[in-house]
Amino acid sequence: MEEARRILRDIFGYDDFRPNQAEIVRTLVEGGDALVLMPTGGGKSLCYQIPAIARPGCGVVISPLIALMQDQVEALRQLGVRAAFLNSTLEREEERKVERALLAGELELLYIAPERLLAERTLELLERAALALFAIDEAHCVSQWGHDFRPEYRRLEILHRRFPRVPRIALTATADARTRSEIVEQLDLRKARHFISSFDRPNIRYAITDGGNARERLWRFLQREHPHDAGIVYCLSRKKVEETARWLRARGRQALPYHAGMSAREREANQQRFLREDGIVMVATIAFGMGIDKPDVRFVAHLNLPKSIEAYYQETGRAGRDGLPADAWMAYGLQDVILLRRMAEESEADEHHKRITRHKLEAMLGLCETTSCRRQALLGYFGENLEAPCGNCDNCLRPPTTWEATEAAQKALSCVWRTGQRFGVNHLIDVLLGKESERIRRFGHHRLSTFGIGGELKAGEWRSLYRQLIALGYLEVDHDGYGALKLTEGCRPLLRGEERLELRKPRRIERKRTAKAAAAPEFDARDSALFEALRSLRLKLAKEQGVPPYVIFHDSTLKEMVVAQPRTLEEMGGIGGVGVQKLERYGKAFLEAIQRQIPAEIA
């Protein structure tokens, strides 16, 4: 552990481990196995990188994410760590070069995809090399209950059979109790120590809004909270990604699309711009983001409902990895609920997987519709109890108002019944509002007892009511392609008056950020100028080396420089994130930038 602490200090530039990190590192250094649950941005990578450097041999990191491999290898090389990767982006001669370096004992860390690892040729190569450990990243991929199941992960139990003396660590940011159990079973980690960190990301403010015109609400959110910041906007379809990116560009934002329908070259170019430039908004399907190690993503916005809480947690977790304030903002509507339920029912999965999918979607809808603290609900899903409301989500900042919706719900359900359970929401609302359309007359719905009885609510309010009735299980969507609503058995007590119903009223998201959310240091004009000067220097150095700016220094490191204003290399070395290698490479340049910016009498 003495060597591990030296590596932490001299290579990575940090004085002490975060909670759980020290014990995880100790377990691996001493040759034990570990299962680690730690939120995105919690420092998972150090848990295997430090033991891999400290132990004899090379640490092998199994990751499904090519972008993460390349990013982490580049960042490690900046620190003076001997790291490489093996994946499909390499030419054959480059692969041979990496293999020779591994066998010669010249590598401390090797990143590799599970498909490549499982090839017999690769396993035989590893048997000839000295190995420090195996790190299985994104370990939730092993579980059918996980949100990103990958069959090849189930074959990774071969590591224990072929390499019984090499310690293993499985890591994930998202796994409930059932998923954790499956990870242990499938990877044969029965003797592993478990390290479960808090899932809480207190620097992220959660906000979920419902209703129409989501794109305009997104724009108001961006203008109000993040007019110049980098962020990610997630959409469900490729078409919506392209449309939203064009719309944002037309309004003056630097917005780029990312989805599986683009060529690999286009995706790579847009991803590199997002990583290397400031203020880029990436509009993407969920094909983007896993393994993107960009620390200064200030917001993650969803324009559609995610399929599960695990997916939502992982996607929102890409915001604020540097620990500074960030936003997780989402807008969703009735069509999201209908579409996701239809996709689940029409999938080719067996009934077991369909049941899992339905269960996860119901939990996601519950998070959206809750009137209590979002963070308490989110953490509770993962089995963690937050005793007091967080004070940093929309429901805490501006508690939602509820209304006695029993009578209106009975009208809405009766309308579904009397129209024959054959029509979608728009038609039902027209009946309730008494609209004399040709379609309503054709079906004779103007003669129904429910025709025109809904004048107390506007069309948008009826839409919100129907959405909540679907989310609460009183209605289901027929998967005939037309979105017809049908009654469920669960609606009977409500229709008979044996059950009362209170629902949340739609509202706008609170406009003001709380003091807790705005915990980043506020700079005066002089300090702001110094921060921008350091950012400019970082960008210049990054462009010269062809790496993302955060690989040089994180924003949090630059902000500490502004606050501390070091005058010597020794003082600069005390800044978090400035290790020996980076001090040698960049210390003098950043000291000079600080001295140029600070008035002579202060310096």
In degrees, rounded to 5, the angle at the alpha carbon of residue 362 between the alpha carbons of residues 484 and 151 is 105
Residues 423-481 have pLDDT tens digits of 988 899 999 999 988 999 999 999 999 999 999 998 888 988 988 888 787 888 775 55
- Residue 348: predicted pLDDT: 74
| CATH of segment(s) 2-196 | 3.40.50.300
Residue with tokens 């980076």: 582
Which carries the bigger pLDDT value, residue 483 or residue 24?
A: 24
Q: Are 471 and 369 in contact (CB under 8 A)?
A: yes
In degrees, rounded to 5, the angle at the alpha carbon of residue 116 between the alpha carbons of residues 114 and 120 is 110
E strand residue ranges, 87-217:
109-112, 131-136, 168-172, 193-196, 204-210
Strand 485-487 and strand 475-477: the pairing is antiparallel
Range list for CATH 3.40.50.300 in the chain: 2-196, 204-397
Q: How confident is the model at residue 107 (pLDDT cuts 50, 70, 90)?
A: very high
Strand 402-404 and strand 502-504: the pairing is antiparallel
Q: Which residues pair with 85 in a beta bridge?
A: 111
Percent of the chain with pLDDT over 70: 93
- Give the residue-averaged pLDDT of 367-380: 90
- Residue 199: predicted pLDDT: 85
Residue 125 has pLDDT above 90, yes or no: yes
| CATH of segment(s) 525-597 | 1.10.150.80
How far is 599 from 482, CA to CA, in rounded Å?
A: 69
Residue 287 has pLDDT above 70, yes or no: no
Residues 305-327 have pLDDT tens digits of 998 888 899 899 889 988 889 99
- Residue 463: predicted pLDDT: 86
CATH topology of domain 402-504: Arc Repressor Mutant, subunit A (1.10.10)
How far is 206 from 300, CA to CA, in rounded Å?
A: 10
Residue 511 has pLDDT above 70, yes or no: no
- Residue 291: predicted pLDDT: 55
Residue 545 has pLDDT above 50, yes or no: yes
In degrees, rounded to 5, the angle at the alpha carbon of residue 135 between the alpha carbons of residues 129 and 141 is 130
3-state secondary structure of 234: strand
Residue 529 has pLDDT above 50, yes or no: yes
Residues 141-185 have pLDDT tens digits of 887 655 567 778 888 889 999 999 999 999 988 777 778 888 898
Which pair of tokens denotes residue 408? 């209106």
Four-residue CA torsion sign, 297, 301, 306, 310 = positive
Which of 250-254, 426-430, 526-530, 591-595 is predicted with the least confidence, judged by mean pLDDT? Answer: 526-530
- Give the residue-averaged pLDDT of 83-95: 89
Q: How confident is the model at residue 289 (pLDDT cuts 50, 70, 90)?
A: low
Residue with tokens 């969703």: 332
DSSP state string for 35-100: EEE--TTS-HHHHHHHHHHHSSSEEEEE-S-HHHHHHHHHHHHHTT--EEEESTTS-HHHHHHHHH
Phi and psi at 561, nearest 5°, equal -65, -40
pTM: 0.72
- Residue 55: predicted pLDDT: 95
Q: DSSP state, 599?
A: -
Mean pLDDT, the chain, integer: 86
Range list for CATH 1.10.150.80 in the chain: 525-597
- Residue 268: predicted pLDDT: 84
- Residue 250: predicted pLDDT: 92
Q: How confident is the model at residue 603 (pLDDT cuts 50, 70, 90)?
A: very low
CATH topology of domain 204-397: Rossmann fold (3.40.50)
Q: Which residues contact 17 (CB under 8 A, 6 or more apart)?
A: 5, 8, 25, 46
Phi and psi at 193, nearest 5°, equal -80, 140
In degrees, rounded to 5, the angle at the alpha carbon of residue 317 between the alpha carbons of residues 388 and 237 is 125
Which carries the bigger pLDDT value, residue 40 or residue 319?
A: 319
Q: Are 329 and 299 in contact (CB under 8 A)?
A: yes
Residue with tokens 């396993």: 123
Range list for CATH 1.10.10.10 in the chain: 402-504
